[in-house]
Structure formats: C-alpha cells, structure tokens
Amino acid sequence: MRRKREQTNNDATKKTTKKGKLSQCTERSDLEKLEIFCVRFPVPVIYRPLVWKLVLGVLPPHYSSHEYVWKQRQEEYQDLHHALEVMSIVNKDTPTNMTFMKMFLLVEGLLPLEDQNVPENDEQSAFIEIASAIMNMYDEEEIDCYWMTAQFYRQCMKYNHAKEMSGIFQAFLKKEDIELFNHLDKIKVLSRLPYSAWFTGVFASVLPAEAVARIWDRLIGGACKLLLYVALSLLAAHRKVILGLDRLEPIKQLLAKIQPNRADGIITEAIDMWEKSGSHLRPDAT
C-alpha cells in the first residue's frame, strides 16, 4: 500500500514537472512550434488546457507574465459578468453557455442592450455549442472555459465561414465521391446539408466533446482544411443509408448527433485522409 501511494505521488510529481517544463519551454521557443505540434500530434489530455491557452493567446508565451495576465483576465471576466447582471441581461438562472455568449457579444459591441432576449443566429448558436463542448471537455473553472471559448471562436471565424466552406465542400465531395454527390444533388439536399453545424460550429453539436477535441487540437494549430475531411468521413460512414434516402429530414437526423462508439472511427478516418492528402492547413490549398 505504501509503495502504491509513493508511486502515485511520484506520478503526480512527474506530471506537474512536465507541465512546468511546457510553460518554461514555451517561454524560450516560438509559439509557431507549439502550433505545429498541435497540427501534427495528439495533444495529451493533461496538457491540453495549457496548450490551448498558450496557442490561442489566452496566456502570453512568457511564463513570467502568466500570473499578471491571468489576473487581468479574471478582472475582465468579473466586470463583464457584473455588467450583464446590472443590466438584467443575465441572472443566476441563465445557463452558463448563454452567459458566455452574451459576454462575448458585449465585448464585440454586438449585444442589443434594449432587449435581453438576444435573437440567436447561426454564429451565436455555434458559440453556445462550442462553449458547452469546452465545459464538457475540461474540469476547469468557468473563467477558463469562457476565455478558451471566446478565443477559439474568434480563431474559427477567421476561416470557417459556413457559406464559403459549403461551396468548397461541395466541390470537394464531387471530386472524392461523385456517386454520393450526384445523389444528394438529384434529391436537392446537397445545398441544404447542416453546413453551419459543421463549419461554423466546428462539429461541437454533432460529435461528443471527447472526440471533437481531437479535431480542435488541429484547428487551434491552424488546420481548418481538416473540417472538409471530417464532413466527408461523416457522410462516408452513413453512405449506404443516405443513398437509399430521398428527403432532407431523415438525412439531417442521421447526421445530427453521432454516438461515441462511431465518432472515434469517423475522426480517425478523417485525419488519415487529411494526412495522406498532404496535411494542408487552408481549404484553398491543394
């Protein structure tokens, strides 16, 4: 029993030491190397919160500045939350993901102050789904989850506009699976697939949080083209069923929520296809 306890303590010490080394290493090296690591390798779960915060800019690269910057983040979070409470826009019963979204809109100058019921659009729904997924991924404080959500969402919006990505994906599907493309086009479903959930919401509402983290590691590193392969792999996993359907609703239901026992296989196949194609980062890369 004593040996087991000592081993557990040693393991915990090793993990803490490695985490400290990661922070110190980042201080001396370029953040681009960390981004490359995110793209090429799975980020270990124990290091993922710190890696994401560093790459997304929640924390600065220099370890000596972490405490000061994080204090500023805490104060800003508290100020935003308090402002929304004073304006009666949120209260103790407001879901946390909804509160995060309204805080983000306030920062961006997009919150209609005259109406506490913010009309949701695809982008706002995506933010809420991303926030929910991040809260499910991490046993972190709400403030950590808010900042990771806000910064990750900002990064995603640089490239993952659903309207543009949907057109790129349709051309991509035509090249990769002409039979499936023709079928979806013939039944007038091709342009009505859940592109917003895929490319704006980056599969947060479609795949389990534990599985979607594998995609997001690479997105954080800049590999947004991977989303095309995830969508292709998702359709391929249901290909036979889809070819037998001729209406939109059954297809949308089929693709809406993937069970954990299928999600890992879909993501693994997507990553394999993406790597074999050259691991390009941007959708316009060939």
For residue 47, the model assigns a pLDDT of: 93
For residue 22, the model assigns a pLDDT of: 57
Question: Would you say the pTM of this structure is higher than 0.75?
Answer: yes
pLDDT tens, residue by residue, 90-119: 999 999 999 999 999 999 999 886 655 555
For residue 10, the model assigns a pLDDT of: 46
Residues 6+ apart with CB under 8 A from 39: 218, 221, 222, 223, 279, 281
CB atoms inside a 10 Å sphere around CB 86: 8
pLDDT tens, residue by residue, 151-191: 999 999 887 777 889 999 999 999 999 999 999 999 999 99
- Placement of tokens 């087991």 in the chain: 4
For residue 28, the model assigns a pLDDT of: 47
For residue 38, the model assigns a pLDDT of: 95
For residue 273, the model assigns a pLDDT of: 97
Query: Amino acid identity of 285?
Result: A
Tell me the C-alpha distance between 178 and 169, whole Å. 13
| Region for 279 from its dihedrals, namely left if φ exceeds 0, alpha if ψ lies in -120 to 50, beta otherwise | left
Tell me the C-alpha distance between 148 and 157, whole Å. 14
Query: Amino acid identity of 262?
Result: R
Considering only CA atoms, which of 152, 159, 136, 158 is closest in space to residue 55? 152
For residue 5, the model assigns a pLDDT of: 42
For residue 281, the model assigns a pLDDT of: 86
Tell me the C-alpha distance between 149 and 163, whole Å. 22
Which residues of the chain are modeled with pLDDT < 70? 1-29, 113-119, 284-286
- For residue 251, give the H/E element and its range: helix 248-256
For residue 104, the model assigns a pLDDT of: 97
Tell me the C-alpha distance between 267 and 31, whole Å. 26
